[in-house]
Amino acid sequence: MRRVDSRWYQWIIVLLICSVMKVKAEVIPNKVAKTLVQDAFSKGAVCLDGSPAAYHYDQGSGDGVNNWIVWLEGGGWCRSVEDCGQRFNYSNGSSNHIDSKSFYGLLSNSKTSNPDFYNWHRIMIRYCDGSSYTGDVELVDKVTNQHYRGARIFQAIMDELLAKGMKNATNAILSGCSAGGLGTMFHCDRFRSLLPSTARVKCLSDGAYFLLDNDFKRVNILESTYDGVVNLHNSAKVLPPSCTSRMNPASCFFPQHIQEDIKTPLFILNSAYDSWQIVDTVIPFADRQDFAENCKKNLSKCSPHQQKLLQGFGAEFLSALPKSYSPSQRGMYINSCLMHCQTDHDWSWNSNSDLLNNKTIAKVFGDWFFERDPSQEMVKQHDLPQICSPPS
């Protein structure tokens, strides 16, 4: 029998190791450094504590060099001096606490996870203003040193990106999650106006379809929050005039009141059982710990009352969605996962977690954006939410 040179085995082992390393390199995202806004102080583009606004920029390549994604980070709102002051020691109030960031989901550089957009210019704007990028107060609070400049942050970063080449974009997306998804709606038409008329420009709002308080007669949590934000941050002038001319500016923070006025094509991604809204605005405060420890993890442990609340919210959410629109102007992916944002994880963005018509979120949005199949309206209703989680 012929003896095989042991060196061949060594080469095979080396090749196998290299192959494994290559696969890992494709799925492990790179860390994207923090970029501070240039001349932030003179532009007023500063966080709540007065530190320069920040973003992360991963440059495009190949056939993606003329295409851009800008993603607005979320993180709730601060509606009072006390609320905003509590953010000074965290990244949602100061860029001093912002480090490099890994990109996942819609911002991933993996062709497997993000096949349509992996090699675009991908930018994450960090959320440090507490107003969904709407604040515009000139004066600084001399006692607390608080700055309310969310709108100026958005504009200053847009100016920098335009100078970096976005002014020549062929395709562009403005997206965001939660409070950032709401900011996406506020700035969608403004973003469109900055780019060439020949460019394909669309917006994707994720986990931001916040509902006006409903038939359950809940405490008006969001209404009072938005009223405080508008007054503290001077947000009214950034909100759509078509809305503020017919109702209180705080009411214009609710997507059901502004989505119809957005002229730029908009894709709404949300769960009909949005976990943040359910926990913070539906479940009574006294029951939240029990809900988090039991019902949220195992739906069979939900009490009849909790099931009724979940079912009621899901039905109300679906009834608040756009009713009549052109498919090219509005796309939707409404699933039943008991979760909040879905663009910022590989497993929720492009996996078999909760498919609608056997399509992932990434597939449906990509088809809608590129008009491969523009009539993308995916709405799935279960009697109760689904527990969606990363594959093991």
Catalytic residues: 178, 274, 340
Residue 197, Cβ density class (10 Å: 0-12 exposed, 13-18 middle, ≥19 buried)? exposed
Residue 69: strand pairing partners: 122, 173
Residue 280 DSSP symbol: I
Nearest-angstrom CA–CA distance, 263 and 171: 17
Write the CA distances from 340 to 128, 249, 388, integer angstroms. 20, 25, 11
Residues 354, 386: Cα–Cα separation, whole Å: 8
Q: Which two tokens stand for residue 388?
A: 């969606």
Largest CA distance in the chain: 90
Beta bridge partners, 57, equal 123
Contacts of 225 (CB under 8 A, 6+ apart): 77, 79
Distance of alpha carbon 92 from alpha carbon 78, whole angstroms: 10
CA dist., res. 276 & res. 127, Å (int): 18
C-alpha 55/C-alpha 125 separation (Å) is: 4
Element (H, E) at 223: helix 221-233
User: Do residues 44 and 157 make contact, with C-beta atoms less than 8 angstroms apart?
Assistant: no
Instruction: List the one residue out of 180, 157, 152, 253 whose CA is nearest residue 211.
Output: 253
Residues near 357 by Cβ (< 8 Å), separated by ≥ 6? 378
- Judged by DSSP in three states, 69 sits in strand
